[in-house]
Amino acid sequence: LQFPVQIAGFSVNVECQDRGLANYLSRELENYEGGDGGDATARISLEFVEQNHDLQSENSNVTLIRHPFGPDILLDARSNPESLEVHARVIGAGEEITSYPEELYSFLATQLFTLLLQHLESNGKAHVLLVHACGAASEGKGFLFAGASGSGKSTVAARLKKMPSVTLLGDELIALAQHGEGGEVQMYSFPVVSDISRAEISNIGVPLEAIFFLSPGEATSCIRADTAHAAADLLGVLIPPVSAGPADVGLGEKQFAGSMELLMDEAVKLSATVPCFHLSLSLDDEPWDRILHDEGQKGENQDE
């Protein structure tokens, strides 16, 4: 199965040889279909293997992923100038697996989309980042509500979607892309959602206007963050690059430091470019008009 999709402003041709995964992808990417697939081709294949016959040490492109909710997966990802090739081997560990759970498809899809952004980046198409955030657009401007799990992203999304002037881009992951050095940071929907349905999000790109770091609170307050605190908070919500080496569970200390160094650079740059705020949100308040208009304006004024 193959179909063109628009992800983070790029037209990508997705090809999948596994019927179950292809059905999952075509359903999940319904909002993203379109374009001519001219920017990249992403191929993903899926195979069952009984055991990990040391495939990992044979090939430095292979990463063993210990999936917490299912079988381990060996992910072989190769980024060529022409295409991204991802081959996933599901390891049975002595047990025959006849059908894959939805969670496994969801996990593989997230890996594929994340690798795709890296592929586009490594081919010089754009500078792309993924952020744990709820994203919303209002009057052509993009607002990120960022935070770790449980910080209130889905709550914010549930409340923003009721506003007629707001278009929701996602409640879990948002892609940020910078087309060209020094260009405007655009935010895009990313095909991974948490509590909202696909139908409730729009696959559009808007300039990033402001970032709000979420925390629950007794009363609603919105305070401009200085660049150091904003950069530190961004480090907690930016998604680290997928390990390219033969890493086992998680990243080693050196890899972690290397990955964090890259993220620190990104966080410092982003915090200097986009106004950031600490948003403490009381469940009783609906402060959206003030936040999406006044705070955005404040950011603009302070930057001038």
Partner 1 sequence: MMKAKKEKTKMSSAPEGETRCKQADDAVFRTTPDGIMILVPEEGTVHLLDEVGSRIWDICSEPVSASQIADVIQSEYEVDGTRVQRDVDGFLQRLLEMGALVEVV
Cβ-count burial of 43 within 10 angstroms (0-12 exposed, 13-18 middle, 19+ buried)?
A: middle
3-state secondary structure of 272: helix
Select from 153, 150, 156 the least CA-distant residue to 287.
156
Q: Is 242 in the site for partner 1 (CB under 8 A)?
A: no
Q: Is 239 in the site for partner 1 (CB under 8 A)?
A: no
Q: Is 215 in the site for partner 1 (CB under 8 A)?
A: no
Residue number with CB closer to partner 1 (229 or 298): 229
Q: Is 229 in the site for partner 1 (CB under 8 A)?
A: yes
Q: Is 232 in the site for partner 1 (CB under 8 A)?
A: yes
Can you read off the two tokens belonging to residue 191? Answer: 């095909």
Phi–psi pair at 147, nearest 5 degrees: 170, 160
Q: Is 265 in the site for partner 1 (CB under 8 A)?
A: yes
Helix (H) or strand (E) run with residue 166 in it: strand 166-170
> Per CB under 8 A, which region of 17-25, 44-52, 250-258, 292-300 contacts partner 1?
250-258
> Per CB under 8 A, which region of 139-147, 158-166, 177-185, 224-232 contacts partner 1?
224-232
CB 77 to partner 1: min, Å: 25
| Alpha helices, DSSP H, located in 147-273 | 153-160, 227-235, 253-273
Three-class HEC string of 108-162 = HHHHHHHHHHHHHHHCCCCEEEEEEEEEEEECCEEEEEECCCCCCHHHHHHHHCC
Residue number with CB closer to partner 1 (21 or 231): 231
Pick one of 257, 282, 290, 294: the residue that binds partner 1 (CB under 8 A).
257
The contact set with partner 1 (CB under 8 A) reads: 226-229, 231-232, 235, 253-254, 256-257, 260-261, 264-265, 267-268, 271-272
